[in-house]
Amino acid sequence: MALLINDDCTACDACKPVCPNEAIAVGDPIYVIDALRCTECVGAEDEPQCMLVCPADCIVPNPDFAESPAELMAKYESLHG
Q: Which CATH class is domain 3-80?
A: alpha beta
List the alpha helices (DSSP H) in 1-81: 49-53, 69-80
Per-residue pLDDT of the chain (81 residues; tens, 9 = 90+): 899 999 999 999 999 999 999 999 999 999 999 999 999 999 999 999 999 999 999 999 999 989 999 999 999 999 998
Q: Check residue 42 and give its pLDDT.
A: 97
Q: Check residue 1 and give its pLDDT.
A: 82
Total residue length of the chain: 81
Instruction: Give the pTM.
Output: 0.94
